C-alpha cells in the first residue's frame, strides 16, 4: 500500500483534515472520508458531470481530481447550499417548486452548476445560455426544461432579495 498523505480542505466552511492515499479521488474522499454522500458518481470518467462540486467557486468534476490536489482549497458541496438553520437555498426551493428533479441523482451537480452560473450571471441570459451552462451535467429524467425554468425563477428571487447572490459565500 502506498503511503498516505495529509490533506487539509475547507468544505462547506469547515476545515477538514484527513490522511489519504494519493490515488484517492476527491469524490471518494468527500463521500466516504468526510461523510458527504451528496456528491454523486454517474460515470467516474469525467463525462456525466454528476460529481460536480465547486472548488474555490469553480465547478470541477470530483471524479477526475485526486483529494491531494484539493489540499488547501475551499470546496462547496450540495450539503453546503443548505443554510445553517436548515433552510433550503432559493435554488433548491425553485427546483422543488418547478419539479426540476425526478430521481434526484443529478440534482446536487445541477444545483451547484446553477449556483456557479448565477454567481457569474445574476441576471441569466436566454434559455439557450442557461442550457449551455448546465450542458456539462447529464440528467436522464427531466428533459432539462424544468431545470431551466427553476434556475430562472431562482435568479428572479435572488436578485429581488437584495444583495446579489455572490454575497452568499461558500462559508455562510
Partner 1 sequence: MAEPATTRPKWIGQSMKRVEDPRFLRGKGRYIDDIRLPNMAVAAILRSPHAHARIVRIDTSAAERLPGVYAVVTGQDVRARMAPLPTFAVGPIYQDLLAVEKVRHVGEAVAAVVAENRYIAEDACELIEVEYEPLPPVVDPFAAMEPGAPLVHEALGSNVAYQRTFTFGDFDRDFNEADHIVRAKLRWPRSSGMPMETNGAIGDYDEGTGILTIYANSMNFTYFQWLIATSLKIPASKLRVVPINAGGSFGSKFFMHKVPTLAGFLSMVAGRPVKFVEDRIDHILNNDHCGSDRYYDVALAVDRDGTMRALQIKVVDDYGAYLQFGTGTHGNALAQVVGPYRIPSVQYELTAVLTNKNQQGAYRGFGSEVNNWVLERMVDFAARELGLDPVAIRRKNFIRPEQFPYRTPTGNIYDSGNYEGVLDKALALAEYDRWVAERERARQEGRYLGIGIVTAQERSVFSSTEFWFWFDQPGFPVTSSPESATVTIDPTGKFIVTLHSLAFWGNSPETVATQVVAEQFDIDPADVVVTYAASQRALPGTGPGGSRFTVMVTGALVGASGRLKEKIKKIAAHRLEVSPEDLEFHQGSVRVKGSPERALTLSEIALSAYMFKLDLPEDVESGLEASYTFDHPYTTLPSPDRKDLGVFYPFMGHACHIAVVEVDPETGQFTWHKYAAVADAGTVVNPMTLDGHLTGGTAQGLGTALYEEYVYDDRGQMLTASFMDYLVPTAMEVPRIDIDHQETPSPYTPYGIKGAGEGGRMMAPGVITAALEDALAPLGVRITELPITPAKLVRWIAEAKARGQAPTA
- Residues in contact with partner 1 by CB under 8 A are 1, 21, 23-24, 31-32, 36-45, 47-48, 50, 77-79, 82, 88, 92, 95-97, 99, 101-108, 111, 127, 130-132, 134-148
Quick one: what does residue 61 bind among partner 1, ligand FES, none, with the CB cut-off 5 to 8 Å set by partner type? ligand FES
Buried b (16+ CB within 10 A) or exposed e, 71-82: eebbbbbbbbbe
Interface residue with ligand FES among 8, 19, 47, 123 (CB under 6 A) is 47
Report yes or no: 46 and 64 within 8 Å, Cβ to Cβ: yes
**Closer residue to ligand FES (CB): 50 or 92:** 50
Is the Cα torsion angle 23, 29, 31, 33 positive or negative in sign? positive
Which range, of 36-44, 69-77, 124-132, 149-157, touches ligand FES by CB under 6 A?
Answer: 36-44
In total, the chain counts a number of residues equal to 172
Between 150 and 168, name the residue whose CB sits nearer to ligand FES: 150
Q: Is 102 in the site for ligand FES (CB under 6 A)?
A: yes
Residue 4 beta carbon to partner 1: minimum distance, rounded to whole angstroms: 12
With binding defined as CB under 6 A, does residue 69 bind ligand FES? no
Partner that binds at residue 79, options ligand FES, partner 1, none, CB closer than 5 to 8 Å by kind = partner 1
Nearer to ligand FES, 108 or 165 (CB): 108
Amino acid at each position: 500500500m502506498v503511503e498516505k498523505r495529509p490533506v487539509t480542505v475547507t468544505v462547506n466552511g469547515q476545515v477538514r483534515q484527513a490522511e489519504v492515499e494519493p490515488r484517492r479521488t476527491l469524490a471518494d474522499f468527500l463521500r466516504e472520508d468526510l461523510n458527504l454522500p451528496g456528491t454523486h458518481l454517474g460515470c467516474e470518467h469525467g463525462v456525466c458531470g454528476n460529481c460536480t462540486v465547486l472548488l474555490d467557486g469553480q465547478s470541477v468534476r470530483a471524479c477526475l481530481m485526486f483529494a491531494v490536489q484539493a489540499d488547501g482549497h475551499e470546496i462547496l458541496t450540495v450539503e453546503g447550499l443548505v443554510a445553517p438553520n436548515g433552510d433550503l437555498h432559493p435554488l433548491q426551493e425553485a427546483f422543488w417548486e418547478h419539479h426540476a428533479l425526478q430521481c434526484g441523482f443529478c440534482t446536487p451537480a445541477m444545483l451547484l452548476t446553477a449556483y456557479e452560473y448565477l454567481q457569474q450571471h445574476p441576471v441569466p441570459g436566454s434559455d439557450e445560455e442557461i442550457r449551455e451552462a448546465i450542458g456539462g451535467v447529464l440528467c436522464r429524467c427531466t428533459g432539462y426544461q424544468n431545470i431551466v425554468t427553476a434556475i430562472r425563477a431562482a435568479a428572479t428571487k435572488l436578485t429581488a432579495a437584495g444583495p446579489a447572490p455572490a454575497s452568499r459565500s461558500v462559508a455562510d
